[in-house]
Structure 1
Amino acid sequence: MSIMRTALPLVLLTGLLTGCAGLQKTDWPTCAAVGGVTGAAIGATESSAYAGYGALLVGGMAGAYCWVHGDGDEDGDGVPDSRDKCPHTPKGVQVDANGCPPVPPAAVVEEVVVVKEETIVIRDVHFEFDSARLTAADKTKLDTIATRLKQEAPSAQLRVSGHTDSVGKDAYNQKLSEKRAHSVTDYLIGAGVPRSAFVSVTGAGESHPVADNKTAEGRALNRRTEIQINR
């Protein structure tokens, strides 16, 4: 009989604490209440006078054990309460390893870069030999440029300049470059680019080379018409 009195309290207490280990911390009142009943039973095995003391002692132990060791998942987000840094997360909300909704990435605002100035260089408009008259091939190429400039015209200013190589006299090249600049401009206006979009049409002659005039390739690069777009 003495063996039963010794073993029974240990069995009851062990079973109680094992059961409490799987509870949530918020269940500690229930755990304490069950512990009180168990404590009373343990105390009663010795004497009815010990029932109250047993209930108080074991109930307190069970409640404390439940609070310390309990590790449930109160909000059901899959993260144990001991690691859940965001308790009471609404159901269905995706959470990270800490039980918190992931922080949405900052919105990337793409800055629109507006090029204030652009220059279209026309090198493949060659005109007729020693002339400012456009060839049929020249006009086809300028049609493509006119389509682009008509889109720019409402909000841009256009400046056209003609350039030659160094072959010939300076004064002659100056006049030829002016004629070619005006020839290109007149064609673009005829193709639909508003006349008001052109703020200047000038000739620079041979004064602004972009390549070596001593070679045929260099001279070809220097013979050009430039259209500067200012937005």
Structure 2
Amino acid sequence: MRPVPCRPLLVLAVLVVPLAGCSLSVAERDEAPRPRVSASAAPTGTPTPTAPAEPTGVHGLPYGEIPPVPLIAVPDLSALDDAQAAVDAAVRAAVASLPGLSVTPARCDAAGELVVRDGAVLYGDGSGTFVGPDGTVVAYGDGSGTATSDGSTTTNYGDGSGTYADGDVSIVNYGDGSGSYTDATRSVTVYGDGSGALTDGTASIVNYGDGSGTWTDGTESVTNHGDGSGTYSGPTTSIVNHGDGTGLVDGVPVEMDPLPPVPRMGVFPPLAALEPVAPVCGSLVTLPASVLFDFGRHELRPEAGAVLDAVVTGLTAAGVAGTVEVHGHTDSVSDDAFNQALSERRAAAVVDGLEERGLGAPLVARGFGETRPVAPNEVEGQDDPAGRQLNRRVEIFVPAG
């Protein structure tokens, strides 16, 4: 056997197909074993060795069959992708609980949709730092970044590669299909060309990517040469498969099918790059729903008049250019349809109020229901009134002039 290629690894949590009693499991075949003596096994006139009357194989397999080399499955890459998820979570969670009106930079994607609202230090080159209750995310603007949370650190290099470490688990993704995974007892290496290796306690699996491979758990071992031949060695049995339809079981010649090749391993998919922080595209005026409406209602409260007066005064003084969008948002109480309709009616009510107060810019009302929360509605399965309060809001998007 050739040695495992020595090169950089790329690993993730790996699942090994269990083996009966040692980390492999093999389904029994429907057909009963039919061991037969090879005609060429003994010279003419010499008594021919015979197999047991009711032969039994290893691991419940037919007599003379070699167990397969276990598979090494490439695990989920979600831990490494947490850097991207953390950006979104940090931005949502960072919205401050202000009692009244707030004005923040508005950032938009290529389609003009808002992507960042508040809670971040942002720079003109697309970079930024986000600090939230669950950790800190730094985006460098070129697709790379880092995220730290609960003792773990994720680094995304922006080219499909990255690393993850939390004290117990270490993952390296090289972005070319290779990588490695290591924890307290297990180590997995994926080379990206169909080959790889796993060690787990006393067990060791090597897949050479060309149909050959080996497996051992310290008491048993399997070698598959990839050409139909292979060997098995266990505490009480040894098997040799010559790959030509013949083989030996404890020295007894037996007809046996050639071994199927070891399946090639998969690869690590490259990491998605962190999106650069979008450029400023205007201003976002956020009004808590509580200063405008009664709970579950869309009619403006009398006290809302002073708030809208202040908005109109400020926007008029700033010289608004372009269409102003009024966005209605709700928490997750009630069903989706009710919340969507409520958000649309609230946005329309604010548009009417601004128009009545003489705001000259074109106005459009849009409702998003509960689909764009800026804080959790629940924390660990428990209702979060403070988070829901932040989500009940009206946002006025004023495009840059």
More helix by share: 1
Give the number of the structure whose alpha-carbon radius of gyration is greater.
1
TM-score scaled by length of structure 2: 0.28
TM-score scaled by length of structure 1: 0.47
